[in-house]
Amino acid sequence: MNKNQKKQNVPDEIIDFLSAESGRSLLVKGGSGTGKTTFALQLLEDFAEPESSFYLSTRVSDEALFSQFSWLKDKEMKKRVLDSSKLLLDTLYKSEEEVSKEEIKTISSARSFLKSISEDHGPPTRVDRTRLSMMIEENRMPEIESLYDRIDHILPRKAMVVVDSIEGISHKYNLEMEEVVMCFQKDLVENSNVNVVMVLEKSDAGGLEYLVDGVISLSRSEIEERRIRYSHMEKLRATEISQPFYSMTLHGGRFRIFTPWTSDINKKNDWVYIPDGKRTYSTGIEDFDAITGGGFGKGTYNAFEIGEGVSKDEYYTVLRPIFLNFLAQKRGMISILPGGEAPDLFREDLTTHISDPSIFDNLVRIADYFAVNSDKKYIMPLRKGSTEEALKIWRDGEQAARGIGTYSTTHAGNPYIEYTGFDSLEYIQGESPAIKGLLAGVVRTKISGDLGIGMLKPGLKVTKEIFNMMDTYFKIVDIGHTPCIYGIKPKTRIYAITKDEKKGYPYVSFIPIS
């Protein structure tokens, strides 16, 4: 398996764990509906070879599985599913009359003895049945015996088995779960070099975690009545766990984890803009446009609230495409940057993806309330002089952002983005003036048909007032070190923000967490 190709589905730590030369056992636990079956099936598809991997279902029939997970109907996946409600491969093992219990004990003892004195340390060529032989003294276990026989035909190649679930086996044959786990652990994992994934139908392992090599738990919870999902690697023997928690989704019947966001800030990739609609400006993100009905309405003001712990690198995954989509069409921006952000770095970020950096210099104007002068065209020094002078500088900045005399031949000019970091506005002007300034900006935007973008960081006093003025209101949060977004106005589900797999950085996709 190509690890880099599959890393967005299953955590790298799990792949490393199961890639060991020796067999490994992995216990998958979690409450109902947390995605245990989906995870196990994804492991089979991404990690194991079709001819040497099996999914033993004790909870539902194969028909039910194929109905729930339509992608299992693929020929390579379909032949891995063994429905325990049917006595599959019945001809592969002898009937009870052909082999007595005494013979089974003798064969098992002989295998153990030969193994103990053997100098051949190569991979096993036969499945060890010591524990299974003891268990079937009371009751035959056709599906388990069939499974062992199937693995016999694969060795010495490494096999992988998913048992879904341990409770299903133990209840069916009136066994303790510890007995079933130890049977697979000793016979298959330790003595036959098989990877065994065992699904537990509850979140409490009840001591079983000490019998296996690895434990992963799946869970779900809510943020503001919106579902989120987590995977937690509790134990992976002899494997470094660089990140214990991952956010995940079961969207489309597939298991997929989301890795922490990393920007390819130095990667040059000229932006190709997405055209606007008749009444909307594209967000530069196809999935975001779909959520908002084509993008942001012309003449609207739109806010992004940033959650605790969300980095600049994370929230710019959404803002960057909005800005680039305007600049790529030679439409400008006037801005009061959020606190802690430098105009030079803002310019460097965006011009990395614009073929002609002069577009930024000519069309972007950034307010600097502490600068008296600036030799940089894109900075508006607003500290010097009177209020009238500051207003004139701002109006000149608006003219530049519209491209009048440079990129626009019309008197009215092109539309532009008014981007405001409300934390800077509140700090500079105070709470009450900031709200008045915002209201003026909202009115101005609606009249002119431009696009207003506001960003709110945690702890602002103006947040409640701002919400009522906004046409749309989205929240960007960090879930398992992954930036996620959801709409409050309009109300939407939570989406993980990921790099667009086809276009690459800085294009992004929104993947529903479901």
Q: Let me know whether 238 and 120 are in one domain.
A: yes
Q: Which two tokens stand for residue 209?
A: 């975690």
Q: Let me know whether 53 and 92 are in one domain.
A: yes
Q: Let me know whether 188 and 291 are in one domain.
A: no
Q: Let me know whether 137 and 244 are in one domain.
A: yes
Domain of residue 383 covers: 284-512
Is 70 exceeded by the pLDDT of residue 116? no
Average pLDDT (486-494) is: 96
pLDDT tens, position by position, 306-360: 999 999 999 999 999 999 999 999 999 999 999 889 999 999 999 999 989 999 9
Report the pLDDT value the prediction gives residue 409, as an integer from 0 to 100: 65
- In this prediction, residue 425 has a pLDDT band, given cuts at 50, 70 and 90, of confident
Integer Cα distance of 507 and 352 in angstroms = 13
Residue 423 lies in a domain: yes
Q: Let me know whether 316 and 356 are in one domain.
A: yes
Q: Let me know whether 174 and 301 are in one domain.
A: no
- Contact between residue 425 and residue 459 where contact means Cβ atoms under 8 Å apart: no
Highest mean pLDDT among 80-84, 92-96, 279-283: 279-283
Report the pLDDT value the prediction gives residue 137, as an integer from 0 to 100: 84
pLDDT tens, position by position, 163-220: 988 999 999 899 999 999 999 999 999 999 999 999 999 888 889 999 999 999 999 9
Q: Let me know whether 314 and 217 are in one domain.
A: no
Closest CA to 322 of 231, 455, 192, 440: 455
Residue 126 lies in a domain: yes
Residue 92 lies in a domain: yes
> H/E element holding 452?
strand 451-456
Amino acid, res. 452: G
- Kindly tell me the burial class for residue 467, based on how many C-beta atoms sit within 10 Å of its own C-beta (0-12, 13-18, 19 or more): middle
pLDDT tens, position by position, 271-288: 999 999 999 999 999 999
Residue 273 lies in a domain: no
Q: Helical H runs in 328-412?
A: 343-351, 358-363, 387-401
Local structure of 177: helix, strand or coil: helix
Residue 279 lies in a domain: no
- In this prediction, residue 41 has a pLDDT band, given cuts at 50, 70 and 90, of confident
Number of domains in the chain: 2
Q: Let me know whether 430 and 488 are in one domain.
A: yes
> If you ran DSSP here, which 8-state letter would residue 253 be given?
G
Higher-pLDDT residue of 426 and 350 is 350
Q: Let me know whether 358 and 247 are in one domain.
A: no
Q: Which of 48-52, 108-112, 395-399, 504-508 has the lowest mean pLDDT?
A: 108-112
Q: Let me know whether 344 and 455 are in one domain.
A: yes
Residue 275 lies in a domain: no
- Contact between residue 320 and residue 350 where contact means Cβ atoms under 8 Å apart: yes
Report the pLDDT value the prediction gives residue 96, as an integer from 0 to 100: 40
Q: Let me know whether 417 and 299 are in one domain.
A: yes
Give the other-Cβ count within 10 Å of 121's Cβ: 5
Residue 155 lies in a domain: yes
Is 90 exceeded by the pLDDT of residue 263? no
Report the pLDDT value the prediction gives residue 93, as an integer from 0 to 100: 39
Q: Which of 237-246, 402-411, 494-503 has the lowest mean pLDDT?
A: 402-411
Is 80 exceeded by the pLDDT of residue 365? yes
> If you ran DSSP here, which 8-state letter would residue 90 be given?
G
Which domain CATH number covers 70?
A: 3.40.50.300
Report the pLDDT value the prediction gives residue 77, as an integer from 0 to 100: 52
Average pLDDT (367-374) is: 86
Is 80 exceeded by the pLDDT of residue 2? no
Residue 277 lies in a domain: no
Q: Let me know whether 230 and 309 are in one domain.
A: no
Report the pLDDT value the prediction gives residue 103, as an integer from 0 to 100: 52
Higher-pLDDT residue of 77 and 334 is 334
Q: Which residues contact 196 (CB under 8 A, 6 or more apart)?
A: 23, 24, 25, 26, 160, 161, 162, 163, 184, 185, 188, 189
